Structure 1
Amino acid sequence: MDIAVVAVILLFGTFFLFLALGVPISISIGLSSVISVMVATPLDVILYTSAQRLFSGMNSFALLAIVFFIMSGSIMNNGGIALRLINLAKLIAGRLPGSLAHTNVVGNILFGSISGSAVASAAAIGSVMAPLQAKEGYHKGFSAAVNITSSPVGILIPPSGVLILYSLVSGGTSVSALFMAGYLPGILMGLTVMIVAYFISKKNQYTISEKIGLKEANRIVLQSIPSLLLIIIVIGGIVGGIFTATEGAAVAVFYSLILSLIYRSLTWAHLPKIFGETIVMTGIVLFLVAVSSIMSWAMALTGMPDAISSGLLSVSDNRYIVLFIMMILLLIVGIFMDLTPAILIFTPIFLPIVVQLGVDPVHFGIMMVFNLAIGAMTPPVGSVLFIGCSVGKVSIEEVIKPLSYFFVALVAALFLVVYIPSITLVIPKLFNLL
C-alpha cells in the first residue's frame, strides 16, 4: 500500500480514536500527526522536527490580531455595548411578527460585526433577550434557537479572527478581501434565520413591539453611533491600507476599552477578568495552531494532500460535485469538531484541490467558514449551542426541534453561497481587492 494512503489512514484513524477516548483535540492532533509520519521518518527526527514546528507555528506577527480581537470581544461582552445595539436592533426589526426574535437576530448581526465572536454574541445578546422573550410568552426553545443560529453571523462579518486564521493557513489569502467577502454571506445567514423566525412567529402569533416615536428613535441612533464607529475605523482602516489586521485589532481593543469606560459599564476592576478570559482563549487557539503545524508538516512529508486529491478527483472532476462532497464532509466534521481545529486541519487538504478546479481561495474560505459556523450550533460539541442554552435557561433537548428548522434553512443558504460565487466576491471586486 502507498505510504501516503497508510499515513492518511493512520492520521485520521488515530485522531478520531483519541477523540472518542476523550483526549483533548489539540493533543489528539499532535499525537496522530506524530504517529502518521512514523511510516516515513525515524522517531528522533520526528520529535526534533515537531518541537521546531510547535515554535514556528506560533511565531507569526499576524496571530497577534487574533489575540487582540479576542480581547476586544471580551471587553465588549462586559462593557455595556450590547444593550445599546439591542435598542438599535429593536428600532430596525421591531415591527415584524415576533419582533423580539428579529431583534435578537439583528442584535447578533450588529454585535458580531463589532466583536467578531459567535460565543460573545450568544452570551451578550442572548442574556438580555431571553428574559424579554419569556415575558412576552415566546417558547424558550424557539428563543434559544434564534439566538444560537444567528450568533455565528459574527464569524463571517468582520472583524473575524477565524477569517484571519484561514488567511494564515491558506498561505496568505488577503485578509482585506476575506473581510469584504464576509459581509453578504453573513447578512444572508442572518436573513435566513429571520425568514424562518417570521413563519414560526406568525404561526404562534407572537407579539409585535410597539412603534418607537421619532424622538426616541433619534436618541437610540445617537447612542449607538459610537459603537458602530468601531466598524468604520477598524475595517475601513484595514481595507484602506492605513493599518494591518493586527494593528486594526489593537485599535479595536483601545477603542472598545475607552468606550466601555465612558459608558461606565466597565471599571478598572473588571480588567483582571477580561485579561483572564483573553489568556485562556488565546492559549487554546495558539496551541491548536502550533500542533496543527505539525500536522501540516506530516501531511506534506508523506504526500497526504496528493493522495486525498487523487481520491476526490477520481470520483469526479466537476467542481460543483467536488464542492458538494466537500461541503457534506465539512457539515459532518462540524458536528464533531470545533471550527478552529477544523479550519486548521482541512484547509491545507481541500484548498489545493478547489484551486486546481478554478475556485477562488477567498470564495472557498467564506463557504468553509459558513459551513463550519453551522456546526457550532449543533450537538455534541457546538460551543454556541451550549452558551445559547445556558443564557436561555433551556435544555438541549428542548431546543433541538426548533433548531432543526433553522439548520435546514441555513444549509440551503450555504449552497447558495457555494454555487453563486458573486454573493461572496462582488464586494471585494468593487474594492479592487481581487
Structure 2
Amino acid sequence: METVAGIILFASFFFLLAFGAPIAIAIILSSVITFLFVMPFDVAILTSAQRMVTGIDNFTMLAIPLFVLSGIIMNNGGIAFRLVNFAKVLVGKMPGALAHTNAVGNMLFGSIAGSSVASAAAMGRIMLPMQLNQGYDRNYSAAVNIASAPTGLIIPPSSVLIVYSLVSGGTSVAALFMAGYIPGILWGLAVMVVAYFMAKKENYPVSQIPNFKDIFYIILSAIPSLLLILIVIGGIVAGIFTATEGAAVAVIYSALLSMIYKSIKWKDIPGIFKETIEITGMILFLITASALFSLVMSYMGLPEAISNALLSITENQLGIILIMIFILLLVGTFMDITPAVLIFTPIFLPISQDFGMDPVHFGMILCFALCIGNMTPPVGSALFVGCSVANVRIEQVTKTLLPYFAAVIVVLLFVAFIPQLSLFLPNLFGL
C-alpha cells in the first residue's frame, strides 16, 4: 500500500509539473488523487479541504506577510543605496572591490528585505552600472550578484526559516534566526573569495577608500537601516516579542524610516500593498497546498517508508547526510523553496533525529541546500532576476557561476558536518 500510494503521489505530481501545471495546483491535485485511492470521494474531498484551511491557521504564519511588507517598503525606501555605501567602507581596497561591495550589499540588504529576488534586483541595478563603468565584465558582475543574493534567505529575519519552524513542529524561531548568521555570512564570504581570485586574474581596478569625513557620514546614514536587524532580532531573541510581533515592529520601523528619508510617496502605498498581497497570496497558497501534501505522506506512512529505504542503502550517518544533501540540491533546482521545505522536512527530519541531529542544525542544512537552487536553472529566481537586470542570457552567465556554485557547496558541507557553525550562536544565547 505504501509503495503504491507513493508511486501514485509522486508520479501524478511530476506528471502535472511536466505538463506545465503551477506547482501549488500540482501538489493539491496529486494529493487528492492519492487520497481517492484509499478513501471514498466525499471523505477525501472534505479531509483535503479541512487540511488546507488548518495548514495556515497559525499565529506565527502572520509573520510572513508582515516581513514581506517590511521588505517591500525597504526596497522602495532608498535603503539599498545607503547599505551599498556602507558595504564599500567595509570592503576597503582590494581587487574587484565593487564586486565585493555587491556581495556585502546583498548580505545586508537581503537580510533586511528577506528576499533573494528583491536583493538581486536592487543591488544589480545599483552596482552593475558602476562595475561596467570601471571595466568589469558583465557576466562577472552578474554572477557575483546572483551567487550572493540568496544569502538574505539564510541571514535573518527569514520567512524560509519561519516556514521550517512551523512544519518541523515548533522549532524555536529565535534559535533558527541566530543559527542563520554564521552559515549565511560564510556563504557570502565564499562568494567574495571566488570573486577576489577572478578579479585578480582579470586585473580589475581597486576602489579608493573615502576620507574619514565621508566614512563617518556613510556609517551614520546606514545606522538607522542596520538598527532594524538589531531591534527585530534582538527583541525576538530577548523574548521581548514573538516573531510575528517582531515582523509588525519591522513594518512600523521601515515605514517610519522611509517617511523620514522621504523616499516613499502616498501614491506609492497602493502599489506596495498590492505587491505584498500578491507575494503573500502565492506563499500562503503554496503552504496550504504543501500542508495537504504532508498529510497525505503522513497518512500513507511515506516518511517511514523513505527512511527505511535510505537505511537499507546505508546506516552510516555520513552517507545518509550526503544522500539527503544530494536530493535537496536536486530538488532545489526545479522546486521553489517554500513547498520544498514543507514537503521534505517531514521526510528527512525524522531520519536526522534518529541520528541525534539537532532540529536547528538540520534546518540549516535543509534551507541552505534548497536556497542554492535560487542560483541554478531551470527555476532559480535569483538567476532569472540577476540575468534580467544585467541584460545577459542564462547560458552566458552559467559558466561564470560554476566556481561560485562549487564554493557554496563546500560551505554547505562545512555546515552539515560541523554542527557548531549552526548551533554556536543559539547555544550562546541559551536558545
Q: Which position in structure 2 is the counterpart of 1:94?
A: 92
Q: Which position in structure 2 is the counterpart of 1:80?
A: 78
Deviation track 1:272-320 (CA, whole Å, cap 9, x = no partner) reads 1111110001001111111111111111111111111110111112221
Bigger drift between 160-169 and 120-129 goes to: 120-129
Q: Is the 8 A contact 1:40 1:302 kept in 2?
A: no
Q: Which position in structure 2 is the counterpart of 1:290?
A: 288
* Cα offset, 1:59, TM superposition: 1.1
State how far apart, in whole Å, the 2-side matches of 1:222 and 1:130 are. 25
* Cα offset, 1:67, TM superposition: 0.5
Instruction: Name the aligned partner's letter for residue 155 of structure 2.
Output: I
Q: Is the 8 A contact 1:69 1:249 kept in 2?
A: yes
**Partner residue of 2:404 out of 403, 406, 412:** 406
State how far apart, in whole Å, the 1-side matches of 2:418 and 2:46 are. 46
State how far apart, in whole Å, the 2-side matches of 1:414 and 1:282 are. 29
Q: Which position in structure 1 is the counterpart of 2:69?
A: 71
Instruction: Name the aligned partner's letter for residue 34 of structure 1.
Output: V
User: Do structure 1's residue 193 and structure 2's residue 191 form an aligned pair?
Assistant: yes
* Cα offset, 1:6, TM superposition: 1.0
Q: Which position in structure 1 is the counterpart of 2:299?
A: 301
State how far apart, in whole Å, the 1-side matches of 2:274 and 2:175 are. 32
Query: SS of the counterpart of 1:266?
Result: coil
* Cα offset, 1:190, TM superposition: 0.2
User: Do structure 1's residue 179 and structure 2's residue 177 form an aligned pair?
Assistant: yes
The equivalences for 1:214-293 within 5 A come to: 214-293=212-291
* Cα offset, 1:385, TM superposition: 0.6
Give TM-score scaled by structure 2 length. 0.99
Instruction: Name the aligned partner's letter for residue 296 of structure 2.
Output: A
State how far apart, in whole Å, the 2-side matches of 1:70 and 1:242 are. 21
Q: Is the 8 A contact 1:127 1:391 kept in 2?
A: yes
The equivalences for 1:306-345 within 5 A come to: 306-345=304-343
Query: SS of the counterpart of 2:321?
Result: helix
**Partner residue of 1:162 out of 148, 160, 163:** 160
* Cα offset, 1:40, TM superposition: 2.1
Instruction: Name the aligned partner's letter for residue 243 of structure 2.
Output: A
Q: Is the 8 A contact 1:122 1:388 kept in 2?
A: yes
Query: SS of the counterpart of 2:37?
Result: coil
Structure 1 segments unaligned to the other structure (5+ residues): none
* Cα offset, 1:113, TM superposition: 2.2
Q: Which position in structure 2 is the counterpart of 1:40?
A: 38
Q: Is the 8 A contact 1:65 1:246 kept in 2?
A: yes
* Cα offset, 1:266, TM superposition: 1.1
Instruction: Name the aligned partner's letter for residue 162 of structure 2.
Output: I
State how far apart, in whole Å, the 2-side matches of 1:292 and 1:402 are. 34
Deviation track 1:227-275 (CA, whole Å, cap 9, x = no partner) reads 0111111000000000000000011011011101111111111111111
State how far apart, in whole Å, the 1-side matches of 2:316 and 2:35 are. 32
User: Do structure 1's residue 376 and structure 2's residue 374 form an aligned pair?
Assistant: yes
Question: Pairwise CA RMSD of aligned residues?
Answer: 0.8
State how far apart, in whole Å, the 2-side matches of 1:405 and 1:413 are. 13
Bigger drift between 7-16 and 155-164 goes to: 7-16
Bigger drift between 124-133 and 174-183 goes to: 124-133
* Cα offset, 1:39, TM superposition: 2.8
Deviation track 1:49-89 (CA, whole Å, cap 9, x = no partner) reads 11111111111111110110111111111110000000000
Q: Which position in structure 1 is the counterpart of 2:392?
A: 394
State how far apart, in whole Å, the 1-side matches of 2:123 and 2:90 are. 15
Instruction: Name the aligned partner's letter for residue 17 of structure 1.
Output: F
Query: SS of the counterpart of 2:272?
Result: helix
Q: Is the 8 A contact 1:15 1:32 kept in 2?
A: yes
State how far apart, in whole Å, the 2-side matches of 1:54 and 1:280 are. 19
Instruction: Name the aligned partner's letter for residue 175 of structure 1.
Output: V
Structure 2 segments unaligned to the other structure (5+ residues): none
Q: Which position in structure 1 is the counterpart of 2:125?
A: 127
Instruction: Name the aligned partner's letter for residue 277 of structure 1.
Output: E
Instruction: Name the aligned partner's letter for residue 330 of structure 2.
Output: I
Bigger drift between 13-22 and 33-42 goes to: 33-42
The 3 A distance-change label for structure 1 pair 104 and 222 is same
Alignment size in residue pairs: 431
Give TM-score scaled by structure 1 length. 0.98
State how far apart, in whole Å, the 2-side matches of 1:195 and 1:219 are. 28
Q: Which position in structure 1 is the counterpart of 2:136?
A: 138
Q: Which stretches of structure 1, 4 residues or longer, exceed 6 Å deviation after superposition?
A: none
Identical-residue share of aligned pairs (%): 58
State how far apart, in whole Å, the 2-side matches of 1:59 and 1:199 are. 49
Query: SS of the counterpart of 1:65?
Result: helix
Q: Is the 8 A contact 1:112 1:118 kept in 2?
A: yes
Instruction: Name the aligned partner's letter for residue 201 of structure 2.
Output: K
Query: SS of the counterpart of 2:59?
Result: coil
State how far apart, in whole Å, the 2-side matches of 1:300 and 1:339 are. 21
* Cα offset, 1:37, TM superposition: 2.4
* Cα offset, 1:124, TM superposition: 1.1
State how far apart, in whole Å, the 1-side matches of 2:209 and 2:304 are. 60
Instruction: Name the aligned partner's letter for residue 131 of structure 1.
Output: P
